[in-house]
Amino acid sequence: MNNHVAERPESVHKAGPTPRKRDRPRRLTAAFCVLLAALTGGVVSSAPAWAGQPPAGYPTSQVMSTASNPTLGSIQIRRGFYDADINQGWGMDKAWNKHNIWSVEAMRRVMLSPNITTQGLQYLLKAYAGKYRCSGSTCTLTDQREVRGVYDTQTYTNYYGWPVGGKMGQLTMYCYQGGELRCPNWVAYSITNPGVNNPYRSSTPSADASLSAEESAEQAEILSSEEIVELEGSIEAGDEQVTFSYEPLPEVIEAP
Which residue stretches of 87-202 are H helix? 91-97, 104-110, 185-192
CA-to-CA distance for 218 and 214, rounded, in angstroms? Answer: 6
Instruction: Supply the Cα-derived Rg of the chain in whole angstroms.
Output: 18
pTM over 0.85: no
Mean pLDDT, the chain, whole residue set: 83
Residue 22 falls within a domain, yes or no?
no
How far is residue 181 from each of residues 43, 131, 254, measured CA to CA in Å?
Answer: 31, 19, 32
How many domains would you assign to the chain?
1
Confidence tier at 7 by pLDDT (50, 70, 90):
very low
pLDDT per residue over 93-138, tens digit each? 999 999 999 999 999 999 999 999 999 999 999 999 999 999 999 9
Confidence tier at 35 by pLDDT (50, 70, 90):
very low
Residue 8 falls within a domain, yes or no?
no
**pLDDT reading at 34 higher than 60:** no
How many residues appear in the chain?
A: 256
Residue 16 falls within a domain, yes or no?
no
Structural domain for 83, as ranges: 27-254
Residue 12 falls within a domain, yes or no?
no
Residue 14 falls within a domain, yes or no?
no
213-223 vs 30-40: helix axis angle to the nearest 10?
Answer: 140
Residue 68 falls within a domain, yes or no?
yes
